[in-house]
Each structure stands twice: as C-alpha cells, then as structure tokens.
A and B are shown apart, each in its own frame.
Chain A
Amino acid sequence: MRSTRPIGLLLIALLTFCFGVAACLQPWLQSLETAHGETGNVFQTLFGDSRRLFANSFYVKADEYYHSGYYPTIFDNNEAFKTPHMAEDTGAVTSHNQGDETGFMGAPRDWIDAFGRHFIPNRHTHLDEGGPSDDLSDTSDVREILPWLKLSTELDPDNVQTYVVTAFWLRQRMNKVDEAELVLRDGLRNNPNSYEILFELGRLYHESRHDNERAINLWEAAQKKWLALDPQAQKDDTLTYDKILVNLAKAEEESGHWQQAINWFQEAKKVAPAADALQKQIDELKRKIEAQTNTPAGAPPH
C-alpha cells in the first residue's frame, strides 16, 4: 500500500502557499477598493449597479406585505399602486395613484379566475389598520414590512424614500425612536443633501422627542437644502417644501416666536395649494401680537 505521507505534505505546502498569496493580496485589494471609492458593501461587490433593481423589488415587496399579499402583479392594473401606499401613508411622499385600489382585479373573467380568487388574498387592507383581521387594537403588525425595507436600504443606500418610510413606521407604530433616528442618520450619511431626511429627522425631534429647538434647526437646514435644488427639481417637489415651511411656522409658534412663524407661513403661501388656510393662521398670529402689544403693563404675560 502506497504511503499517503507525500500527498499530505503536498497538501500542507499548497495550503501554506495559498495562505501566503491571500495575505499578500489582501492589502493590495483593499487599497484598490479605497482608490475606487468603494465602501466595502457586500451587495455592491456582488451585484454592482444591478443591486438597485433588486432594491426596488424589495421596496415593492414591503408594500405587498403592507397589503397582506393583496397586490397587483405585472398582469394586473396597477394604476392605484404607482406610489407605494406604505410611503403615501407616511405623508412624506407625493402620491401618483389613480383608479380603484380595492378592485384592481376587476370582475372575474371566467370560472377559473372566479374559483382561484378563493385561494389568494382578495381584499384590500393595510397592516396599520389591522390587516386581514381588521383588528384596530393591534396595528404593530406593520413591523412585518421592515425586513424588506432594511434589505432595500442596504442594496440601494442612495434611495432617500426608503429611509424616510422605514423611520416613519419604526417611530409611529413600533415606538422605536432611537432605531428610527439611527436609520435617518445612516441615510443622511449616504445622502448628505437630502432635505426629505432632514425633514423627517425634524419630525422625529418635534413629535417624539419634543425638542422644538433641534426640530427648528433641522427644518431650517432642510429648507436650505431644498432651496439649493435646481428649479426643475424644486418644481417637482413643492409638497415637501410646503410641509417643511408649515412645520417650521408651527414650531416657531409653539416656541412663542410669533413674528418668525408669520414669516414662515408667508413663505409657505407661495407654494401651498391651500393659501387661504395659511392666511387665516397669519391673521390669527397678527391678532395675538397686537393683543400682546396692547396689553397694559402689569397684566399677566402671554
């Protein structure tokens, strides 16, 4: 019987050689990655730019979970699902949806279609409204969309909307304010010019942390970022700008800076669809200022 010792020694020698080559190449490869500005993201290495396609699929998948599986396929009419409802319901996204969201399947075409509908989700529901059980007492099931959103942000770190949607649901339904802030800070690191993320971060500080001063600072930063956009981009998203300004005005009003609040409301009037409502608020604030000015000395302060 032939001895296996030489083969064993050969294998050890090969292993040592491979280890040595790997140890030599590793620093060189690392420096090459840094030179190309790559961050070492696994998905970037594996998929390149095609990862954005997957990211979008997972984003849509999250919306499918938001509807508990009741979702149009490529063969269905998806006019009512152009903007994911999970994003629309955050109030941070402009909706492009039209048509009937409850009946995208239409009337059954034949007996096969009619029979098949008994074995698939066949009713429009939202997870934050109880899902298929319609139990409004338990709306935390919306947590189920989070794995897909997380995967989507990791695949496409430049998609601002994903950060905003993830943070909103984490904060509003899961009461995970710290995690929501981490998501937004992560988004801001990857997209330093995003006014949407700054706006959402401001909402987090205002609504969840009740820190008006920081919220105002963040919204002012968001306003500046929006103003730095090119005119076409500004025209495309006046809704967010309107929200930034109105939130700024309200926060200033809460802080007692009424004149500053009037300034923000007047700025918002230029882009707001309902300018009359804003004018009423401006008039109200002016009355308050007037009343304070006319208050005799010694009267209790505002």
Chain B
Amino acid sequence: MKNIFAVAGIVIKELYRRKDFYVLFIVTILICVVMASVNIFDDKQIIRYLKELSLLLIWISSLVIAITTTARQIPAEKENRTLLPLLAKPLSRTELILGKFFGCWFACGLALICFYVFFGALAASREHHWPLLNYFQAAFLHWIMLGVVVAIALLGSLVFAAPSSNSTICFVVVAGILFVGKYLDRVALSLSEPGRSIAYSIYYAIPHLEFFDMRNLIIHDWPLISWNYFGLDVLYALAYTAFFLIAACLVFRRKTVN
C-alpha cells in the first residue's frame, strides 16, 4: 500500500504543477459569471439555466482532466525512460498501475471538490439555500464515475500506441455511453440479426455511466435519491473499475517496458 500511495502522491503533485486544471477552472468561472450577468426580465432569482451550464462545464472539464491526465501517465514514463528505474525499485507492476490509478482518481476528486464548491456558491447566491446532501450525492457519484473512466483510460494507455489516440478513443467511448448508452436496446430492436445481437451485447456489457449523471435532479431541485440505490450505484461502478484495472494489470504484466 505504501508503494501505491507513493506513486499516487507523485501523480497528484503533477496535477497541480500542470496548468490544465487551472485553465479549465478559470474558464468555467468566467463563462458562468458572464452568463450570470445577463439580465432576464429583471429577475435576479432565475438560476436553473446557470446551474445547467455550470454543471455541463464541470462535467466536460472533469472528463478532460481525467482522460488526459491518465492517458499520458505510462507513455510519459516510457518516453522519459523512468519506467525501468521505477520498476527496478521494490515496486511491482501491479503496484505501479494501482498507484497511477489512485493518483489520477484522487487528483480528479480534488478538482471536483473545487468545482462543486464553486457550483454550490453560485447556486446559493440566488437560491439562498444549500441542499448539501444532494450536492454530496451528485459530486460523489460523479467522482465514482470518473474512477471507471480513469480505469478505462489507463487500460487504453497500455493498448494504444500514443496518448493522443487513447484520449480520442476514450472521449468518443465515454460520450457515446453517456448520450446513447441507455437507448442501445431500443436501437437494437430496429436492427436485423446479427446487428441486433451485437447491439444487445454491447448494451449489457458497457458500464452505464449515465447512472452517475444526477445533473437533472440537481438543476430542477428533485429530492434526494434513495441511499440504497446510491449504494448499489457505487458498487456497480466499483465492479467495472475493478474489471478494467485487472485487465490493465494483466496487459501490463505481459508488456515489454523498454
């Protein structure tokens, strides 16, 4: 565990040395502040459009941070020729993968804390109340979902040749799941065999990331979701994260590192 957290610590330090997060955070704030200054029929209490925009930017930013940070971890170690010296230390390949995963995931968590604190402040400035538990559920599920994305990107960084191709494929896959993942069964119904079976197989196999998207509930002030379903949702994500991490460890174990 000590080795894993040592590697994770380095990844977190890398995030706050790089400028990606700061740029995305400042751009999000600027866009939200400009949109908040728009006068809509002299009503200062209109907030939901602003919450929607803010959450959309937070989701895009978090996915950019998660995928780009993770996709370059192993290739950068190879390129800088630090991978072999690293593995020469008492550090197994599995520990390295887990360290990289936890580093990226925790780094995303830190970024999310900043984003959601800003979001809460923005919403409270007009709504004058803090539904803290709702925000906690939304932010936590968002973070858990990023765990799956980080694990996918980590596996991709071992399979694909370059970080750019890995990032692009990860973005397409994640966006595809988020936008059409839950409708794949209906798409399957309109197809003929073997397309139907393939679409159904994909529908049941993919991690349904839309389970973690609570934006509509937060924007429109819906009540809390049941904690039982919240717990099941977390378990669902952890299962997929474990699957992709085990796959990454198996691929990395057989991979030549020089």
Contact = CB atoms under 8 A, between A and B. Distances in A.
Nearest to A132: B222
Contact of B217 (A119, A143, A170): A119
B45 A143 contact: yes
Interface stretch (A45-53, A146-154, A188-196, A202-210): A146-154
A277 interface: no
Interface stretch (A94-102, A108-116, A290-298): A108-116
A116 B182 contact: yes
B193 interface: no
A120 interface: yes
A113 B182 contact: yes
Contacts of B222: 68-69, 121, 132
Interface residues of B, number: 35
A271 interface: no
Interface string A114-153: 0110111100000000011100000010011011101000
Contact of A121 (B208, B217, B229): B217
Interface in B53-76: none
Nearest to A119: B211
Contacts of A150: 40-41
B210 A133 contact: no
A256 to B, nearest CB: 37
A96 B195 CA distance: 36
Contacts of B220: 65, 68-69, 121, 131-132
A174 B211 contact: no
A113 B185 CA distance: 9
B216 to A, nearest CB: 4
Given A118-B225, A133-B221, A143-B46, 13 more contacts: A73-B183, A109-B185, A112-B203, A113-B185, A115-B211, A116-B211, A119-B211, A119-B214, A121-B217, A143-B45, A144-B49, A148-B49, A150-B40
Interface of B: 38, 40-43, 45-49, 141, 182-183, 185-186, 203-204, 208, 210-214, 216-217, 219-223, 225-226, 229, 232-233
